[in-house]
Structure 1
Amino acid sequence: MNVLVVGAGGREHALAWKIKQSEKCDHLYVAPGNAGTAEIAENVAIGVNDFEGLAQFVLKQNIELLVVGPEDPLVNGIRDFFESREELRHVLIIGPGKAGARLEGSKDYSKSFMNKYQIPTAKSRTFTAEELEEGLKYLESMSAPLVLKADGLAAGKGVIIAQSLEEAKLSLKEMLIDGKFGEASAKVVIEEFLEGIELSVFVLTDGENYKILPEAKDYKRIGEGDTGLNTGGMGAVSPVGFAHPEFLEKVNQRVVIPTIEGLKKEGILYNGFIFIGLMNVKGDPYVIEYNVRMGDPETEVVIPRIKSDLLELLLACGQGQLDEADLEVDERAATTVMLVSGGYPEAYEKGRVINGLKSLNSGISFHAGTKINEKGEVITNGGRVIALTGMGKDTKEALKVSYKGAEKIEWEDVYYRNDIGQDLLGMEKG
């Protein structure tokens, strides 16, 4: 069958890499793709939000399965667009419609959903610019640190953890009055800070049935020791040592099942991935956020641990027959280390020539922000550039593979963290 993956990052490269391994895959396309996807699929110069362009390509190339990687086209209604056109309704789409995508597209909506269906989450309230004074008073009733979240999509940067009441008040004004995150912060969710360890659980659902994929933990801060500015993710590890079977069963019973049942009760037919950001608070799971697609760089450790044919899984999901599909998980650990451009997550240069990719003989390199220049060289084309994934019998062994690869790849001003996964060593599941 012919498959089109929509997106241009490490997540899409990892999905394409695994789909390509299926005997069922005849032709694989990625729109717009990157230098890494160009090696295993055919890149198509169509933007992720160019629904008409994607539709015409799907019809021309007889695409049977559309896998939507990033959140933007999902929140903007790519599924609804395809379902509104009779000639496109036969195409199977992995990704929810606009109604389901609100779980990520609106923090206010997702908090209301969690509260309605008694899914454990931090106490919160939402405020608009007109309610600024009320919001400031609400902050005074809480203890620092405090969490402020832009309601809409803010490219992973719309969350502020204020260490003091003064910082929280200033941040609330900047978000609501000064439009710090643009339209995304027209509404701001203020919530209590949860003390615990973060992890992410990934679910694939056809709206009725579901499969829980391997869990992962990512590392958001730019600096070692989890210091400095937030990024899109500097690395990830799977499995997560403290996520014992008992804890994961709590996640299933208290979070996953109520989420899927809640969507059904809301009349939302949800087909695709649900990424559940969790906090482990003294052994109990609390939901920090929902995302309606796979995470990046978590995909780069989750997908390599899936032994089953991913295309068969996605096909079963699209057809509403996920209960008939098998999910087999590799017991080995996977780790990924993100190589980024100097200056990221603030100003950075693009167009640096990347050396060492051909000499890489350990691990897998998933391209996040790359492209090929007119000389045929692979160059940097983003802040996060290459994710180096290693596998091993445990986290320590997998990290050796990731870092061995990281040492071989070079470009001017390359940077990566040397402490990914260190906090989890010695916490392997028994």
Structure 2
Amino acid sequence: MKIIVIGENAKEQALGSLLECRGSNEVLVVPGNPGTVQFEQSVEELPDNYNPEDIFGTLVEFEPDLVILCDEDLIRKGWGDSLSSRGWNVLAPDIKACHMIDDKPLWAKIMQENDIPVADFRMLNTIEEARKFVEEFPCPFVLKEVEGEKRFAIPYNEDEALDLLEEWFGNGHTRVMVSEFKEGRRFNLPVMVYKARVVPLLPYIVMRGIYEHEDDPQAKGMGAVCSARGPISHEHAQEAVERIMVPFFKVIQKRGVDYNGLLTGEFVLTDHGLVCVNMKPGLSETGAVSYLQLLRSDLAKAWFDLQEGKPVNLEWRPKVAVSVVLAGKDYPQTDSHDAPIVMDEDFEGIINYNHAKVGENGRILTDGGRVLILTRVDETLAGACAKVQESADAIHCSDLIHRSDIGQDLD
């Protein structure tokens, strides 16, 4: 099978590697990154004047059996619709479905109205409403700017909440969604969706925040842990699918919206049951590089089986994968650019390039915030944690940092 993966970060590289290893597939990742050049070797005949930056030209010349659109910006710009209209089989939601998932107040309301477990919420339309809310309800709670910059925050005291809301409303007309902050075990679940059929991949736990032993739900992931027999089980994943995702996709299907593609849900396992707190189109960087290392099945075949109504049974390695992000030392305030990255000759591990580039003489350089993601697999959580730290210690760059505690605080 000939497959084009569209994107340039860590998840596209990890997905390309899976597709090449788990099936008899020819894979190209465009525009790609320093780690995706290797996939060109699996192609029997590259298009003439092949240039990975020319995405559309590559599609026309390569004539893929499947296009997997991972770049969320391109999905939001309607690339999925455009490519599908030209006859390609595209694994990506159309722009209508993407906008549905991007509109958190909308899908949360749909869930609420249909008794689907979701964090309770309300809308604040003026600064006066916001001040009154803060007076009446204790922190923490979750704030999401629906318009404008669409910022996200979790204030932990009244003064912090008021300062944030004054700033957000003070910048012009906006609306703010405020939802309850759920206590419990947080986990992400990627799924493959075709209309109202949902196939779960493997749940994973993200460590968020720059500092050791930090758990900041509003920060991007600096590491992830995934296991087929970990603290989040297949049973929890199946519950999320059956009680939340399938009912939701059935409801929006009745409203004329079919979600076809990959999606990642975020859930909290509370004392009172499972609750959905967020959804996003596509796959996340940090988690994808972990669970894709454990998948034994060909994801492309699974997609075709799902479309055709056939049973989809994904097989997973009974091991633990741990990923660690190497980020710029001043991340998230500023990105890192052009700092050379040197690797020990005896380096072991899986490197996925997230924001890195090739400089002169073939040297790998930093080119963003979260630059590299390293992954190791082992029989145990402790073993995978120790191995991935050894991998991180074997990479040298004066402008990169990483957390050394990823996975250590998990039960």
Query: Match for residue 50 of structure 1?
Result: none
Alignment partners' CA distance in 1, 2:63 and 2:297? 25
Query: Match for residue 137 of structure 2?
Result: 142
Query: Match for residue 409 of structure 1?
Result: 395
Q: Deviations over 1:344-393 (max 9, x none)?
A: 111133111111165322x2111111111132111111111111111111
Residues 121 and 227 (structure 1), Cα distance of their counterparts in 2 relative to 1, 3 Å cut: closer
Alignment partners' CA distance in 2, 1:279 and 1:32? 35
Amino acid of the structure 2 residue aligned with 1:259: F
Q: Of residues 125, 134, 149 in structure 1, which corresponds to 2:122?
A: 125
> TM-score normalized by structure 2?
0.90
Residues 122 and 177 (structure 1), Cα distance of their counterparts in 2 relative to 1, 3 Å cut: same
Query: Match for residue 350 of structure 1?
Result: 337
Query: Match for residue 182 of structure 1?
Result: none
What is the CA distance between 1:281 and its match in structure 2? Answer: 0.9
Q: Of residues 190, 213, 219 in structure 2, which corresponds to 1:225?
A: 213
1:179-258 matches, cutoff 5 A: 186-226=174-214, 231-239=219-227, 241-258=230-247
Amino acid of the structure 2 residue aligned with 1:145: P
What is the CA distance between 1:246 and its match in structure 2? Answer: 4.6
Amino acid of the structure 1 residue aligned with 2:385: L
Q: Secondary structure at the match of 2:266?
A: strand
1:331-350 matches, cutoff 5 A: 331-350=318-337
Residues 383 and 209 (structure 1), Cα distance of their counterparts in 2 relative to 1, 3 Å cut: same
Query: Match for residue 305 of structure 1?
Result: 294
Alignment partners' CA distance in 1, 2:387 and 2:303? 29
Residues 249 and 349 (structure 1), Cα distance of their counterparts in 2 relative to 1, 3 Å cut: closer
Residues 369 and 103 (structure 1), Cα distance of their counterparts in 2 relative to 1, 3 Å cut: same
How many pairs does the alignment contain?
Answer: 402
Q: Of residues 101, 105, 108 in structure 2, which corresponds to 1:108?
A: 105
What is the CA distance between 1:407 and its match in structure 2? Answer: 1.0
Q: Secondary structure at the match of 2:187?
A: strand
Q: Deviations over 1:7-47 (max 9, x none)?
A: 11111111111112244322x2222211111233489554x
Query: Match for residue 347 of structure 2?
Result: 360
Runs of 5+ consecutive residues of structure 1 not aligned to the other structure? 47-52, 180-184
Alignment partners' CA distance in 1, 2:280 and 2:224? 17
Residues 287 and 357 (structure 1), Cα distance of their counterparts in 2 relative to 1, 3 Å cut: farther
1:373-388 matches, cutoff 5 A: 373-388=359-374
> TM-score normalized by structure 1?
0.86
Query: Match for residue 82 of structure 2?
Result: 81
Residues 225 and 77 (structure 1), Cα distance of their counterparts in 2 relative to 1, 3 Å cut: same
Alignment partners' CA distance in 2, 1:206 and 1:146? 33
State yes or no: 1:15 paired with 2:15.
Answer: yes
Across the aligned residues of Structure 1 and Structure 2, the Cα RMSD in angstroms comes to 2.4
Query: Match for residue 396 of structure 1?
Result: 382
Q: Deviations over 1:164-198 (max 9, x none)?
A: 1221122122223327xxxxx94321112111121
Residues 284 and 372 (structure 1), Cα distance of their counterparts in 2 relative to 1, 3 Å cut: same
Amino acid of the structure 2 residue aligned with 1:232: K
Contact 1:106 1:153 in 2 (8 A): no
Which stretch of structure 1 is more off in the superposition, 212-221 or 136-145?
A: 136-145
Amino acid of the structure 2 residue aligned with 1:147: V
1:266-345 matches, cutoff 5 A: 266-282=255-271, 284-317=273-306, 320-321=307-308, 323-345=310-332
Amino acid of the structure 2 residue aligned with 1:135: A
Percent identity, aligned pairs only, is 24
Alignment partners' CA distance in 1, 2:102 and 2:176? 13
Q: Deviations over 1:246-265 (max 9, x none)?
A: 53443233212212222322
Contact 1:110 1:289 in 2 (8 A): no
Q: Secondary structure at the match of 1:304?
A: coil
Which stretch of structure 1 is more off in the superposition, 95-104 or 297-306?
A: 95-104
Alignment partners' CA distance in 1, 2:148 and 2:190? 20
Query: Match for residue 25 of structure 1?
Result: 25
State yes or no: 1:66 paired with 2:63.
Answer: no
Query: Match for residue 406 of structure 2?
Result: 420
Runs of 5+ consecutive residues of structure 2 not aligned to the other structure? 42-49
Q: Secondary structure at the match of 1:217?
A: strand
Query: Match for residue 99 of structure 1?
Result: 96
Q: Deviations over 1:248-294 (max 9, x none)?
A: 44323321221222232222121111211011111611111011111
Residues 222 and 229 (structure 1), Cα distance of their counterparts in 2 relative to 1, 3 Å cut: farther
Amino acid of the structure 2 residue aligned with 1:394: T
Alignment partners' CA distance in 2, 1:359 and 1:178? 53
Alignment partners' CA distance in 2, 1:44 and 1:56? 8
Q: Deviations over 1:309-355 (max 9, x none)?
A: 122223434xx126343311111111101111110111133111111
What is the CA distance between 1:229 and its match in structure 2? Answer: 9.6
Contact 2:5 2:69 in 1 (8 A): yes
